[in-house]
Amino acid sequence: MARKYTLQRPTTSGGSGIDFAEELNEQQLAAVSSPPGPALVIAGAGSGKTRTLTYRVAYLLDRGIEPRNILLLTFTNKAAKEMLERVRSLVPRDVSEMWGGTFHSVGNRILRRHAEEIGFTKSFSIMDRDDQKSLMNTVIAECEIDTTARRFPKPDVLISIFSLIENTGVGLEDLLEERYPYFEEWAEEIARVEARYRVKKRLINSMDFDDLLVLTLQLLQKNEELRSLYQRRFQYVLVDEFQDTNYVQSELVDLLVGEGQSLMVVGDDAQSIYSWRGADMDNILSFPERYPKAQVYRIEKNYRSVPEILELSNSAIKANRHRFEKDLQAAREGGAMMPALVSLEDPNSQAHFVAQRILELREEGVELEEIAVLYRAHHQSMTLQMELRNRGIPFQITSGLRFFEQAHIKDVAAFMRFVTNRRDEVSFKRMACLLPGIGAKSADKLWRGWADSPHAAAEVPPTAFSDILAELPVPRKSTSHWEQLGHTLDELVRDDGFARPADMIFSVLEGVYDEVMRESFDNYEHRRSDLEELMSYADRFDDVLECLAQLSLMSAVDGDPSGSKAELDSEQVVLSSVHQAKGLEWRVVFVISLTDGMFPNGRVLDADDEYMLEEERRLFYVAITRAKDELYLTYPQINPKSYSGEVIQRPSRFLDDCPAELMEEWQVSGEW
């Protein structure tokens, strides 16, 4: 029988000197000083989550825990860097042996040491997105898949499909049925590509981003000795933003934590908004069941927002059934105004209101960079972008490219530009390269054929583009798609001139481009919504040349300005999707387009899925908790949709969750 012997932890010299009771509130202190063992910290918005984690590390170091025995897992390199810098500023010790970083960076460190165990060498390459696309093209060719009769998903889409399979544990057939139903007929071929892609990565000694997690997990699952080694080393494991972990990350945490070790996970179930990329909120909700001895700590004092905004936030999230109970309390005194509920006539009126109020706030002393406009989807900002430009209000967009700079907007515009200017080589080639089997060389050859025809220089467009294009030397496998393109161009011309701009966009979308988007982009639905918004914008024009001129002006003005930084206006309003705004804060926040179908998203309402609707409500909660001083909730009563007439919109059901007494209704009047 083995004798048990316990090593006493040596007393450290040069402690931090931190008065934890003085520098932390009671709830933070309870979490920071928690005894060894599993612990779940529910940290509400603006409650000092990062402060709690960094002070927890300092507390452990003060009590003699060696830095090498601590593992800190985050979701972004920025968060890891910030936390490690704070630890270094708090504790006068060398913490270089402490492992702190993203899940992927920690996976890379482990795999660099043990890659041979899973069929790679330690010098394996890590592929970026472009590398993946290149390899995927090779794999598709090696699988000899005939893509001439039907469109096969492009590499970008395949990468997204395979990533979701890896990170969620959902099988290919189920994933296609749920998210990509238009690719179900390709299921067998996609499975072959996936299998070959896995083999190919080993042959070329390369891993993609997902492999850094998946292969680390497999390594620790299969090698008990190695698993025990890391469990003994990482006696204290801390995980940030635990509500955003996916299936693989959660399993990895469980494997790294052995018997007798301490695990502290910090997160906020009310801010779980990334299920679309594989995050599983059940990881945080089920934590007390997976770790029955877990202590649960709640940090509910909010240092960001005034009480009026917090009261609204607390009410908004209570409608969700799947959540931890908590009640955020404001550390700040009451503000000057209640959250404003603003009903406007239509998107134009909404844009007018937001722009005017921004200018008023600036006069009141609020810097433009302290103001943010948040929305559910990027296309909802288009009308506002135009209004801000017209009023000379500079803005930056964190949710992606400015509306008119996006590839799918430019693709559709290329059809309109070519029809109205038959000498537009750039638009012709952009349009041609959208079709399968046509690359740069083929497009150039087709252009030379078109340019040599008399129609290129004619003042009047031909009556039938399809007849002329049929004579050009198109690759055989592109014939049917080329014919469809010709028929689509025919629809853009009328006997008395050109079709209306909105009609043009509809014809391009339904005739050619919808299919292009389905097989080219993994966010097809978002891009479809963008083009529907573009149709609404174009519907105000009868003249296609005027419409194109405005599109060009918007692109020119909205592009990156030239010149040195000193010459640029640093004062800019922030436009952002709510997803991109998570973790940020501003003095003043506008949340716009709060109608059913926009926020919550229409696809969620159509699905009639409680879990999806609750995630939308959490997204709304994240939006309103970004505001420190003032909050404006706006919605247009009318949506001027093309082809279906004006649609009367219902205010977002999330506003119904908020008691009327917690908001001040603004009645906006005036000539619009």
DSSP 542: S
Average pLDDT score over residue span 87-102:
86
Residue 566 has pLDDT above 60, yes or no: no
pLDDT greater at residue 422 or residue 665: 665
Beta bridge partners of 42: 267, 298
Residue 375: exposure state from Cβ atoms within 10 A (0-12, 13-18, ≥19)? buried
Give me the count of residues in the chain.
672
pLDDT greater at residue 379 or residue 635: 635
Supply the pLDDT for residue 13.
45
Residue whose C-alpha is closest to residue 416's, from 238, 323, 543, 242: 543
pLDDT greater at residue 233 or residue 568: 233
As given in the structure block, the two tokens for residue 51 are 């402060």
Q: Which residues contact 273 (CB under 8 A, 6 or more apart)?
A: 578, 579, 582, 615, 618, 619, 622
Supply the pLDDT for residue 1.
64
| Range of lowest pLDDT (95-104, 111-120, 512-521) | 512-521
Supply the pLDDT for residue 360.
96
| Range of lowest pLDDT (136-140, 406-410, 660-664) | 406-410
Residue 11 has pLDDT above 60, yes or no: no
Q: Hey, what's the torsion of the CAs at 333, 338, 339, 343, to 10 degrees?
A: -170
Supply the pLDDT for residue 249.
94
pTM value is 0.79
Alpha-carbon span 247 to 228, nearest angstrom: 21
Residue 592 has pLDDT above 50, yes or no: yes
Alpha-carbon span 237 to 253, nearest angstrom: 8
Residue 191 has pLDDT above 60, yes or no: yes
pLDDT in tens, 441-498: 888 889 888 888 888 878 888 888 888 888 888 888 888 889 999 999 989 988 778 8
Model confidence at 556, pLDDT cuts 50, 70, 90, reads very low
Residue 345: exposure state from Cβ atoms within 10 A (0-12, 13-18, ≥19)? middle
Helix, strand, or coil (residue 261): coil
Residue 596 has pLDDT above 60, yes or no: yes
**Backbone phi and psi for residue 623, each to the nearest 5 degrees, phi listed first:** -60, -50
Residue 225 has pLDDT above 90, yes or no: yes
**Strands 638-641 vs 645-648: parallel, antiparallel or unpaired:** antiparallel
As given in the structure block, the two tokens for residue 244 are 């955003």
Q: Which residues contact 510 (CB under 8 A, 6 or more apart)?
A: none
Average pLDDT score over residue span 206-235:
92
The most confident of the ranges 134-138, 195-199, 643-647 is 195-199
Supply the pLDDT for residue 239.
95
Supply the pLDDT for residue 133.
86
Supply the pLDDT for residue 289.
92
Supply the pLDDT for residue 50.
87
pLDDT greater at residue 174 or residue 398: 174
Rounded to the nearest integer, the mean pLDDT of the chain is 87
As given in the structure block, the two tokens for residue 388 are 């801000």
Residue 213: exposure state from Cβ atoms within 10 A (0-12, 13-18, ≥19)? buried
For residue 130, what is the enclosing H or E element?
helix 129-142
Average pLDDT score over residue span 344-371:
94
Supply the pLDDT for residue 28.
94
Helix, strand, or coil (residue 37): coil
Residue 378 has pLDDT above 80, yes or no: yes
Model confidence at 646, pLDDT cuts 50, 70, 90, reads low
Supply the pLDDT for residue 563.
34
Catalytic residues: 49-50, 240-241, 271, 626
Model confidence at 672, pLDDT cuts 50, 70, 90, reads very low
> With contact defined as beta carbons under 8 Å apart, do 378 and 526 qualify?
yes
Amino acid at 443: A
Residue 31 has pLDDT above 90, yes or no: yes
pLDDT in tens, 245-256: 999 999 999 999
> With contact defined as beta carbons under 8 Å apart, do 59 and 33 qualify?
yes
pLDDT greater at residue 11 or residue 274: 274
Alpha-carbon span 156 to 212, nearest angstrom: 19
Supply the pLDDT for residue 423.
81
Q: Could you tell me how far CA 342 lies from the centroid of its own chain?
A: 27
Model confidence at 80, pLDDT cuts 50, 70, 90, reads confident
Sign of CA dihedral 250, 255, 259, 260: negative
Supply the pLDDT for residue 671.
57
Alpha-carbon span 541 to 598, nearest angstrom: 24
pLDDT greater at residue 33 or residue 86: 33
pLDDT greater at residue 603 or residue 587: 587
Amino acid at 248: V
Residue 560 has pLDDT above 50, yes or no: no
Average pLDDT score over residue span 405-420:
85
